[in-house]
Amino acid sequence: MEAHIAEWLNLLVRWIHFIVGVAWIGASFYFNWLENHLDRKPPQKEGIDGNLWAVHGGGFYHLKKFTNGPDTLPPVLHWFKWEAYMTWVSGVTLLTIVYYYNAKAMMIDSSVMALSPATAIAIGIASMIISWFVYDLLCKSPLRHKPLMLGIIIFAYLAILAFALSHLLSPRAAYIHVGAAIGTIMAANVFFVIIPSQKELVKALTENRIPDPGYGVNGLLRSRHNNYLTLPVLFIMISNHFPSTYGSPYNWLVLIGLAAVAVLTRHYFNIRHINKAVWMLPTALFGFILIMFATMPPKQTALAQNDIISTAKIMPIVKQRCFGCHSSKPTQPGFSAPPAGLAYDKPGVLENNADKINTQVMQKIMPLGNLTQMTDDERNRINRWYRSLKQEAQ
């Protein structure tokens, strides 16, 4: 009952997180695109920086960007901030439901470090708070006058965070907390810097004075950072489906590599209207393929006839180590239905999912948090069973 409610709560919050995240990033992409596509060719009307025509959903739109702002404040002004705040709030709620509520299974991997659940949770929360303070200090330091250098140092900080977390928490918890740290930086940027700088713009307008330029410069810097951080954070949010990324022994390096690929891709789209740096996209694709090959599992030698293992032979291992969660009626507290829909007590489910099972078991992601204490010898037997199936299929 409790597990069932937790699952539905998870569904509700995840759904909300997804929706508001789409709204936030969608708006951010749209305004970025708008800025880059404004027609700024003279002649423009007095006080207008550029304009743009668009057709969408059965109507024509004509947008204008003001050089300094309108003469009087319009009665309705849209702000675009709740998407960001709600994405963060729903994200942290989801983190709590999925990871902190079930910390023993979800956050701890004793082969990485035997932490207590409380310590693991504390590390997770600290990673978000510390990241914001480090990032914010960097942005306020003299480095802010050297945006490229600042960008590189922020990237380096996040790389160190990925390295540290992957040596403390379970692989998936490490990944998701790098994502949560980046998400925290992005939402805090909106809350502490971008929205206040917009408030200053509006205030200056109503007081009929020139806005303090410091605000605008700062807001633009943070909003640029948010723009570059979007693609890495989106990768992390879907990474859970890709065990060869977070499950790799060098998972932190995979994360850094894919983040670099994402930043380069974003950069290409940001600058292509002024500088067609065509080498960027192929380079990003090449980096992606390089990481794909670098994470390739070693080729396995053919099994000798007497090393062949049948499904019946591994059944006792699966019963002991997996059934607690992966059976029609899970007995593990916190599980009301077989996770990922995989109930190994049903005929054919093991064989049909052999690929996934082999990956999850050999990368030590399953059994979750090794709660059921599977041994290395048992893992090797699962691998031999998998290879036996492959060999038979040939």
Q: Closest CB to ligand HEC among 40 and 313?
A: 313
Stretches 51-59, 76-84, 118-126, 364-372: which one binds ligand HEC (CB under 6 A)? 364-372
Q: Closest CB to ligand HEC among 52 and 112?
A: 112
Stretches 121-129, 271-279, 289-297, 355-363: which one binds ligand HEC (CB under 6 A)? 355-363
Site for ligand HEC in 259-278 (CB under 6 A): none
Contact 268, 225 (CB under 8 A): no
Q: Does 13 bind ligand HEC (CB under 6 A)?
A: no
Q: Does 17 bind ligand HEC (CB under 6 A)?
A: no
Site for ligand HEC in 191-250 (CB under 6 A): 240-241, 243
Cis amide bond preceding 43, omega within 30: yes
Stretches 274-282, 290-298, 305-313, 368-376: which one binds ligand HEC (CB under 6 A)? 368-376
Q: Closest CB to ligand HEC among 20 and 365?
A: 365
Q: Does 361 bind ligand HEC (CB under 6 A)?
A: yes
Contact 49, 39 (CB under 8 A): no
Q: Does 353 bind ligand HEC (CB under 6 A)?
A: yes
Q: Closest CB to ligand HEC among 321 and 384?
A: 321
| Among residues 367, 384, 386, 389, the one that binds ligand HEC under rule CB under 6 A | 367
Q: Closest CB to ligand HEC among 225 and 321?
A: 321
66 DSSP β-pair partners? 48
Question: Cα 70 to the chain's mean position, in Å?
Answer: 38
| Among residues 93, 288, 324, 336, the one that binds ligand HEC under rule CB under 6 A | 324
User: How far is residue 276 from each of residues 143, 261, 266, 279, 368, measured CA to CA in Å?
Assistant: 28, 18, 13, 9, 47
Q: Does 311 bind ligand HEC (CB under 6 A)?
A: no
Distance (Å, whole) CA 187 – CA 81: 9
Binding site for ligand HEC (CB under 6 A): 105, 240-241, 243, 321-322, 324-326, 332, 339-340, 342, 353, 356-357, 360-361, 366-368, 371-372, 374
